[in-house]
Amino acid sequence: MTTSTLVGYARTSTTDQKAGLQAQLRDLEQAGCTKVFREEVSSVATYRPQLAAVLQWVREGDMLVVTKLDRLARSVADLVSITAALKAKGAGLRILAMNLDTATPTGKLMLNLLGSIAEFERELMLERQREGIAKAKAEGKYTGRQPTARAKAKEVLRMRAEGKSVSDTVTALGISRASVFRILAEHAEAAPTS
């Protein structure tokens, strides 16, 4: 007979948010979590190693516990993916701040409703954004995306030819070090070989 485990997952966006992480760990411990996975990584990161580890670790009957929904999922699609992975393993999800537990029929319904509402709000926001852009274009006010660092490629190459350092170039042109290196690398590839 397998015993179920309350498994916690805590996440903060940066290492500067120590207090937020400590508060999550405290709440997960008070909720009875005997195993806790924690990480300091942005929710927009494409890969969250500790989230992947917890989804790998949970077993049938276990319950993944998070303090808030935004600590777990970055979008409705992400939430659907995570809950599907949990369901496939026979595990549930509990969100403390919402008093939501997917082990109950009401919890499952609430999670689906929340996901649908979030998706609906996102679609409305995108529709308003498209309408605003169309209006601005019609009025001749839409400028589109601002020029990127590539627009400053000539200046980067000129400063390099003058012997300026990468740091001087970054400061003078207001672009990132990565952009400077990318421009220099592209120019080196395009240079004719003799």
- The reply to whether 4 belongs to the active site is no
Q: Which of 13, 42, 167, 176 is catalytic?
A: 13
Rounded distance between C-alpha atoms, residue 20 and residue 153, angstroms? 42
Measured from the Cβ of residue 28, the count of other Cβ atoms closer than 10 Å reads 24
Q: In a 3-state reduction of DSSP, which class is residue 86?
A: helix
- Helix-then-strand count for the chain, H and E: 7, 5
Please answer whether residues 168 and 174 qualify as being in contact, where contact means their C-beta atoms are separated by less than 8 angstroms: no
Rounded distance between C-alpha atoms, residue 150 and residue 61, angstroms? 53
- Dihedral of CA atoms 47, 83, 66, 41 in degrees, nearest 10, equals 10
Please give the positions annotated as active site: 13
